Amino acid sequence: MATIPVNARVQKHRDALRMAGLRPVQIWVPDTRRPDFAEECRRQSLIAAQADLADTEMRRFMDEALADVDAWTA
């Protein structure tokens, strides 16, 4: 059995995805290997937490939404 080169298999897979109506996208994400990554996560988390505490209407909405989840059935 002859093996298909990797490039050809990948191209065949991509072509099949395109035929299914999908398209590739490129997503840039934070580099978790950077030495300051954890500190930046901490900084942004604190900002988000402070914003959440200041937004009482959003907190009320989230509490109501969470209470509504209890009524869901599997």
Positions in the chain whose pLDDT score sits under 70: 1-2, 73-74
Token duo for residue 55: 């937004």
* pTM, two decimal places: 0.49
Residue 65 one-letter amino acid: A
Token pair, residue 28, equals 């840039």
Q: How far apart are CA 2 and CA 49, in angstroms?
A: 57
Number of helices (H), then strands (E), belonging to the chain: the values are 3, 0
Half-sphere exposure of 26 (CA within 13 A, CB side): 1
At 73 the pLDDT is 66
